[in-house]
Amino acid sequence: MQQLLAAAQQMQSQLMSAQQELADTEVEGTSGGGLVKAVVNGQGELVDLTISAAAIDPADPAESAQTVADLVLAAVRDAYRAAADLQEEMMGPLAAGIGSLGGEGGQSGPSGLPGFPGLPGLNEPPAGLAGGPSSGS
């Protein structure tokens, strides 16, 4: 029983270290051949968004606005996918270890870890992103 507790404590320590490393790691998603770049940290927080002036057509502002919105969504989704891949790479072995300790269902992947929810936006845009006011840089 003591060995099981020691193994669980070691797993918890490794999990906390991996979560901190994820929080400190940033990944980039792009769209439109690099016209829009989104940077997300390993925990899925959007930390930077860059839109190239070349993405904007002053002759057609309405169409340009829709194009930019589409490019932003695509870049953010790309960044979220990269962050999910990073989470799986870093947390997957730990999730498998937790399952082997007798966890319910042995669910693998970062979304099955307590206190570490899956990333938003993998199948749909993040809530509040589309149509909201944006701050310029």
Establish if 34 belongs to a structural domain: yes
End-to-end CA distance of the chain: 56
| Number of domains present in the structure of the chain | 1
Which pTM was predicted? 0.61
The domain containing residue 66 runs over which residues? Answer: 21-109
Residue 2, domain member (yes or no): no
Structure confidence by residue, pLDDT tens digits, 27-51: 999 999 999 999 998 878 899 999 9
As a whole number of angstroms, the distance between CA 114 and CA 65 comes to 40
28 within a domain of the structure (yes/no) = yes
pLDDT recorded at residue 19: 81
Q: pLDDT tens for residues 56-73? A: 999 999 999 999 999 999
Under a CB-based contact definition with an 8 Å cutoff, are residues 47 and 41 in contact?
Answer: yes
pLDDT tens by residue, 4-13: 888 888 888 8
Query: Residue 91 burial (CB < 10 Å; 0-12/13-18/19+)?
Result: buried
Question: With 70 as the cut, is the pLDDT of residue 78 above it?
Answer: yes
Is 32 within a domain?
Answer: yes
pLDDT of 127 reads 44
In a domain, 4, yes or no: no
Q: Please report, as a single letter, which amino acid is at residue 77.
A: R
- Residues 42 and 80 sit within 8 Å (Cβ to Cβ): no
Residue 119 resides in a domain: no
| Distance separating alpha carbons of residues 66 and 117, to the nearest angstrom | 31
Q: What does the pLDDT read at residue 82?
A: 92
Mean pLDDT for the stretch of residues 88-109: 59
**How would residue 136 be classed by pLDDT, with cut points 50, 70 and 90?**
very low
More confident residue, 102 or 77: 77
In a domain, 16, yes or no: no
Assign 3-state DSSP to the chain and report helix, strand, coil percentages, each to 5: 55, 15, 30
125 within domain boundaries: no
CATH of the domain at 27: 3.30.1310.10
Q: What is the DSSP letter of 50?
A: E
Q: Scanning the structure block, which residue is given the tokens 């870890």?
A: 113
- The answer on pLDDT for 84 being more than 50 is yes
CA distances from 105 to 14, 19, 62, 110 (A): 21, 22, 50, 14
Q: What confidence tier does 103 reach under pLDDT thresholds 50, 70, 90?
A: very low
- 50: which strand partners? 37
